[in-house]
A and B are shown apart, each in its own frame.
Chain A
């Protein structure tokens, strides 16, 4: 339920007509909660715009998969292209929003989400290009890790995916904007308090004058 709340909040960020790339896992859920009356288009970095729902059983087409290799569909208005074009769209600043998970994020908008040295080294895939190229970078993650330790740090310890590119951090507890002056806590989840959020965050945060709830 906490995850639903956070992906619902992120879904409200996109204006009608936005081009959005959603990372694998929790970010993918955002597509299910786009507010009524708005239409967005999803970019799939393997080569198309207009990513639709998963293909029904028996109707899979091996020529149409998402970036995770799963059979999917394309919506009306979509189009196909090759990888060079796909990443020109990404790096060239033509994707409005990208939503990704994170292992760590810090007060300068640095993001670490692609490897844990000696443990998890799957490769960065398209993540580095997406974070550098998309106009708005939204991190969607649990506020603390499995051991209860903060994931929003003064400084990332893990290898960076990109430097200073994160714009928004949305967790199960808080909605935080990354600004030149540092992190600004703008909204908190309905079942928490500002004090609890600050306690669960290593990085210092400015608290907005009026705190919203989600």
Chain B
């Protein structure tokens, strides 16, 4: 059984300077309640690993706009103009990673792999400083695993064993991120008891989950206003 905590309690161990993964794609699948708790707590100097920085007032985008992030790993920051401003003025160090590589590096960490070989980025600025290998005549870049101390994922339903159901397009990076962080908090709209979740409907096995928080800020209106 996994502990069901308040959002405040769940983010308690996140320190200034901690590394944090936040699942989501343009706000879709962001854990709004957990992001809000982190902002209320005053956390800063975070290393944030997230697919994109959403829109300025939506989910993970708020961490950028409220100056909580010192280092960012992302694939795209174009929909949140504040990200670009902070990168250009040197307030935030930004590493941009091709999206497939981003997900596979995180998955590699969670799957116990020492890295992955990908053809993406060959012949571009992405290959700078990286080892190249030729397999069957094709060039690949060695990309290293990417992990974090904490991860936030968002589920529609979660049972008390931590098994999560993520519907539709909300899955995105959540499965890989849940595998790759030391302490994984799931924000769930509905928490059910053992046996109330169909094992066939599990998107993220509970083994990866550390704590469960009931969602108090449902996605919808927050996200769709963007």
Contact = CB atoms under 8 A, between A and B. Distances in A.
B98 interface: yes
A65 B26 contact: yes
B75 interface: yes
B171 interface: yes
Contacts of B122: 132, 162-163
Nearest to A159: B125
B14 interface: no
Interface string A122-162: 11111111001100000000000000000000000001111
Q: How large is the interface on B (under 10, 10 to 19, 20 to 34, 35 or more residues)?
A: 35 or more
B119 A91 contact: yes
Contacts of A123: 52, 74-78, 96
B118 A91 contact: yes
A159 B123 CA distance: 10
B76 A125 contact: yes
B25 to A, nearest CB: 4
Interface in B35-87: 51-52, 54-55, 74-79, 84, 87
B92 interface: no
B169 A128 contact: no
Given A160-B124, A162-B124, A60 B224 contact: yes
Given A63-B219, A161-B124, A47 B25 contact: yes
Contacts of B168: 48, 61, 63-64, 74, 80
A67 B25 contact: yes
Interface centre among A121, A125, A133, A162, by most chain B C-beta atoms within 10 angstroms, is: A125
A147 to B, nearest CB: 23
A65 B171 contact: no
Contacts of A163: 122-124
B129 to A, nearest CB: 15
Interface in A53-79: 60-65, 67-69, 71, 74
Interface in A71-121: 71, 74, 80-84, 86-87, 90-91, 110, 121
Contact of A124 (B96, B104, B174): B96
Nearest to B222: A62
Interface string A36-60: 0000000011111000000000001
A132 B119 contact: yes
B123 A162 contact: yes
A72 to B, nearest CB: 9
A91 B107 contact: no
Contacts of B13: none
Nearest to A60: B224
A122 B76 contact: yes
A84 B175 contact: yes
Nearest to B123: A163
Contacts of B156: 63
Nearest to A68: B26
Contacts of B6: none
Contacts of A46: 25-26, 28, 169, 172
Interface in B134-192: 156, 167-176
Given A69-B28, A71-B224, A129-B99, A48 B76 contact: no
A164 interface: yes
A74 B167 CA distance: 13
A184 to B, nearest CB: 23
Contact of B121 (A74, A84, A128, A164): A128
A122 B74 CA distance: 10
9 contacts: A62-B224, A64-B28, A80-B167, A83-B51, A83-B172, A84-B103, A126-B98, A129-B100, A129-B120
Interface of B: 25-29, 51-52, 54-55, 74-79, 84, 87-88, 96, 98-101, 103-104, 107, 118-126, 156, 167-176, 203, 219-220, 223-224, 226
6 nearest A-B pairs in the assembled complex, by CB-CB distance: A122-B78, A69-B26, A163-B123, A87-B100, A129-B100, A125-B76
